[in-house]
Structure 1
Amino acid sequence: MEIQNQLKALADKINKLKNKIETEESTKHAFVLPFINILGYDSFNPTEVVPEFTADLGMKKGEKVDYAIFQNNTPILIIECKNWKESLDNHNSQLFRYFHTTKTRFALLTNGIQYRFYTDLEQTNKMDEKPFLEFDITKIKDNEVHEILKFHKSNFDVNKIVNNASALKYTKEIKKCIAEELVNPRYDFTKLFANKVYSGRLTEKVMDEFTVLVHKAFNQTISEKVNDRLNSALNKEAEKQELDSIEVVEEESKVVTTEEELEGFRIVIAILRRKLDISRIVHRDTQSYFGILLDDNNRKPLCRLHLNASTKYLGIIGEDKNETREIIQSVDDIYQFEEQLLKTLGLYID
């Protein structure tokens, strides 16, 4: 995913430069404007990105927010920036005032590292006290990249973001509550489980004991879940390696690569070379089929050719890595499946 690579590059830049950045203005130019550019907006185009956007409130004139992003002459996101060294905890009241005076549904408070996105879920045109999306760009997670992508110029849809914002906000709050309970279970939380497993009277002494037990049980459960996932992943990897070794043995015996298979390989290259360096497209012939792989990796199949029987097939690889066979009359018919082949390539690269 291209935006994921761009965000990682910005994170690397921040880690290298932050100790040399002293002012809020430098933070804006070095950290925030590149983030705006990643979202697809041209920071040099005053119809898209307006610096020092006026957000007057009543009799109080001259109030300005650091940036406003526009689409169709309407502000869609206002951005208030702080020095990267500053905590954001005491600055949302300023953004709260700006939000009320504009037509935007979204506001961003950032110090170039921490990003907090707000909207008006609780009361129309009144910014919520808590953000619905919050992340540290230097520690960004895949699910956060997915949410950031919704603010990209090419994807921006007010209704979709607002509809999803409620789930994001409350999921974040629930996860926070769970994390707190895991560290220090509250009385009511402990009592919930004690009532399910203990038939006696819940005295203070019993509750003290169960507080420790609940804490221990929850952390053990999480550890076991993590270990199960790891073991499952390791077992699958071992199975794949075993299958790969079996396939290599098969390839070494009774395999004859035909000119027709090589011609099909060249057609696949002709289709994919617009998106990929041809040196990364490799063929590997077996007794069962003629495989075409990305980076000579069995776990990255691009397609398979079945040309040695009376009925010829092109094997298309789907998202689940399963093969769908399409009948072809000759290798020239492979050109008809350009879209499907490019889609398969997209499973491995953006």
Structure 2
Amino acid sequence: MEINIPKQSVNQLKKSLDNFKLTDAIELSTNEAQTRKFLIEPFFEMLNYVSNDLIPEYNADFGERISQKIDYAIILNKKDTILIEAKKQNSKLTDKEAGQLNGYFNNTKNSKIAVLTNGIEYRFYSDVLDPNVIDGKPFFIFNLSKYVDKDLDTLIKFDKRYILVKEIIQTAQESVFVEDFESALFKELTAPTKDLLKIIHRNMNFKTKFNEDTQVKMISLINSSLLKSLYDKKVIAETNSNSLGVVTTELEIQAYHTIRTLLIQDKKIPNERLGYKDFKSFLNIGIDDNSKKVICKLVFSDSKMKMIIENNEYTLEHIDDVLKHKKELINRTLALVE
């Protein structure tokens, strides 16, 4: 059953959030207890949960000898339970920290939603991928200091008057499916297998020999056109999640997969051991994600592209220029895989 949420309710939620004196609340929240009082509890009040709805220090039964308490629980219709783990307002939230919710989640009857929050950011988790195990990533994140109308359309679904856990879980499943599909598609198209390239080549009207040069051109075309929208999403995700400002550029991705295609032509080079590590000013292509096993370094800027193999530095006019250094790249890789 889907509830039709009035637009007026969304507008009222927006008004409440806009009127909330966030700066004052942050200044008052110098520890976890104050974070709960001045940030977390008012947030749930704006979603129409009264004080009696938020059960503090909720007991999560870990067995006869072990009993642990989670900061809050909300029990809906005497059945579905939402677990809330609170942190101090200036605490940095990571998905690793959400791992501690697993124990509570596993041992709390009818728990399907868990929230990790520092009073500013609210991360909503479920068990979409593996029953009774918190997913590695939240299916929804709401930030009091920066939100858009689309976020409000999702947040209102957690309002006490409208919340339907089954519907929220279904939406979470769809979100995880789409994200996983796009990730898998991105991975497949940025590193297409030879079989996939053969299928595409077989369906082309313009017939050429299916040789190494053809494969490199096909990969370059895939990277430059079909991946554009997926790449844009990836950049946005990296920008939002990476505080160091490291964003892998489209050219770097093209160069990596062009080099990778060259290398795996040699059967002695295992495909699964190749990878890259991006840094703020350069990208390393290497073996086994080992900093001591770097095949080459790519240094790309707006004005020039350079590839460094050991102590040899080469300027690239185009990505395809890496073909000129195929032998050196393969020899370097073979030396590292042994």
TM-score in terms of structure 2 length: 0.52
Match of 1:108 in 2: 115
Matched, 1:89 2:95: yes
Match of 1:51 in 2: 56
Instruction: Give the alignment of 1:137-286 within 5 angstroms.
Output: 137-174=144-181, 186-188=190-192, 195=201, 199-201=207-209, 205-218=213-226
Matched, 1:5 2:15: yes
The Cα offsets for residues 42-76 of structure 1, whole Å up to 9 and x where unpaired, read as 13x2xx11111111202453311111012344452
Deviation at residue 137 of structure 1 after TM alignment: 3.6
Match of 1:130 in 2: 137
Deviation at residue 211 of structure 1 after TM alignment: 4.6
The Cα offsets for residues 169-190 of structure 1, whole Å up to 9 and x where unpaired, read as 2234445667x67xx9621289
Deviation at residue 33 of structure 1 after TM alignment: 1.5
Match of 2:240 in 1: none
- For these two proteins, the number of residue pairs brought into alignment is 215
Report % sequence identity.
27
- Counterpart of 1:99 (choices 95, 105, 111) is 105
Structure 2: gaps of 5 or more residues: 1-10, 232-338
Say which one has the larger Rg: 1
CA contact (8 A) 2:190 2:222 kept: no
CA contact (8 A) 1:88 1:109 kept: no
TM-score in terms of structure 1 length: 0.51
Q: Distance in 1 between matches of 2:121 and 2:171?
A: 21
Match of 2:34 in 1: 26
Deviation at residue 148 of structure 1 after TM alignment: 1.7
CA contact (8 A) 1:105 1:120 kept: yes
The CA RMSD over aligned residues, in Å, is 3.6
Q: Distance in 2 between matches of 1:175 and 1:144?
A: 21
Matched, 1:68 2:77: no
CA contact (8 A) 1:78 1:99 kept: yes
Deviation at residue 156 of structure 1 after TM alignment: 1.7
Aligned pair in 2 of structure 1 residues 122, 214: CA closer, same or farther (>3 Å)? closer
Deviation at residue 116 of structure 1 after TM alignment: 2.1
CA contact (8 A) 2:208 2:214 kept: no
Deviation at residue 145 of structure 1 after TM alignment: 1.8
Q: Distance in 2 between matches of 1:217 and 1:118?
A: 34
- Counterpart of 1:36 (choices 38, 44, 52) is 44
Deviation at residue 132 of structure 1 after TM alignment: 2.5
Secondary structure of the 1:138 match is coil
Q: Distance in 2 between matches of 1:20 and 1:199?
A: 70
The Cα offsets for residues 232-263 of structure 1, whole Å up to 9 and x where unpaired, read as xxxxxxxxxxxxxxxxxxxxxxxxxxxxxxxx
Structure 1: gaps of 5 or more residues: 224-350
Aligned pair in 2 of structure 1 residues 5, 194: CA closer, same or farther (>3 Å)? farther
Deviation at residue 209 of structure 1 after TM alignment: 4.6
Q: Distance in 1 between matches of 2:171 and 2:163?
A: 13
CA contact (8 A) 1:114 1:134 kept: yes
